[in-house]
Amino acid sequence: MLASDIKLLHKLHSESDLKTIESVVEEIKKSHDFILEKVSSGNIPEHLQGLDNDTAPLHILSPSTIYSVLSIGIYQAHESKDMSVLNNSLYTYNRLRYYPGVLNKSGYDHCIYLMNALESFAGNDIELVRKMFSKDLGQAKVGHRLLVMATNLMMAIIWNDEAWKEASLKATTKFLTLKNGRTDDLLVQYLIAIINQDMAKASEYLAESCMLYKKNGFVHNFRNPFLKVFGAFIHGLYNMAYHVLPAEKFEQLAQPDHTIFWKDFADHNKATRFTAGKPFIIFENELGGLNKIYG
């Protein structure tokens, strides 16, 4: 990691409101207590009615609290040089992030989960990716054109559906003639290369995606500034290739030589055969019901 990135990482940590997992749990407990108070009084806000009591606190939790789970993992993994910490934080972060999204009211269909799916790939949580992009949902239709296009390519890849591959590849012909941002085109071109098992092109697109990563405002817009140091999006693209390609093809995918691609983390994934992490938080006592997010 560059000295400037290490300096930024320490600065971000020092400025964080939540620096420990214990402080994150305390924020979740505040949400739990608020829900409990509303249930006890019978004065439940309309948008919280009908929710599962165990996971209801997640629906009123500040997004920054959920981001903090990953931020803490990024910082602790770097400081301790233990990449299992990062893998575990990704696992819990993605699970916590998914559940509030189940009540998505954006007007988009399941394409709204695209970034969550890629970050789940970064943490090797294939089970969660398949839940977000269940085959029963079919191809995406409603949403921003990049989200729809990339989601349909990913679903075709994940489920190895030849009809979906054919339809999605045909749709990319028109998509790539439109006035898109370069980073949007790179995502689509990378997924096309994965479908075609063209590892030279995939390596090229992944490397260029790293070069333009910090300009990629639409995909992740850095609501979590720690992602300026660790490219979860890039690791998701890289790890996805492992999970969907024959081993000999994946070995031909070049690791990007860029600071936001943590080679130590990639090496950890290889050593553990790209296995999903373990819970970074074990919820106890009155929060124990939240452990169902891991199921």
Residue 59 pLDDT: 83
Determine which of 35-39, 117-121, 154-158, 202-206 has the lowest per-residue pLDDT on average: 35-39
Nearest to 36 by CA among 23, 54, 24, 21: 54
Question: Which amino acid appears at position 33 of this protein?
Answer: D
Mean pLDDT, residues 172-195 taken together: 95
Q: Do the Cβ atoms of 97 and 130 come closer than 8 Å?
A: no
Residue 220 pLDDT: 57
Q: Where are the alpha helices (DSSP H) in the chain?
A: 3-15, 21-41, 63-80, 83-101, 114-122, 126-132, 145-159, 162-175, 182-196, 199-211, 217-220, 232-244, 247-250, 263-271
Residue 274 pLDDT: 98
CA–CA gap between residue 178 and residue 54 (Å, rounded): 45
Residue 105 pLDDT: 57
Determine which of 17-21, 38-42, 73-77, 155-159 has the lowest per-residue pLDDT on average: 38-42
Q: Do the Cβ atoms of 272 and 246 come closer than 8 Å?
A: no
Residue 28 pLDDT: 94
**What pLDDT, in 10s, does the model give residues 32-62?**
898 888 777 777 777 666 667 788 888 888 8
What SS3 string covers 137-186? HCCCCCCCHHHHHHHHHHHHHHHCCHHHHHHHHHHHHHHCCCCCCHHHHH
Does pTM top 0.75 for this prediction? yes
- 3-state DSSP call for residue 109? coil
Confidence of residue 107 (pLDDT cuts 50, 70, 90): confident
Confidence of residue 219 (pLDDT cuts 50, 70, 90): low
Determine which of 56-60, 169-173, 265-269 has the lowest per-residue pLDDT on average: 56-60
CA–CA gap between residue 234 and residue 293 (Å, rounded): 25
Q: Do the Cβ atoms of 230 and 238 come closer than 8 Å?
A: no
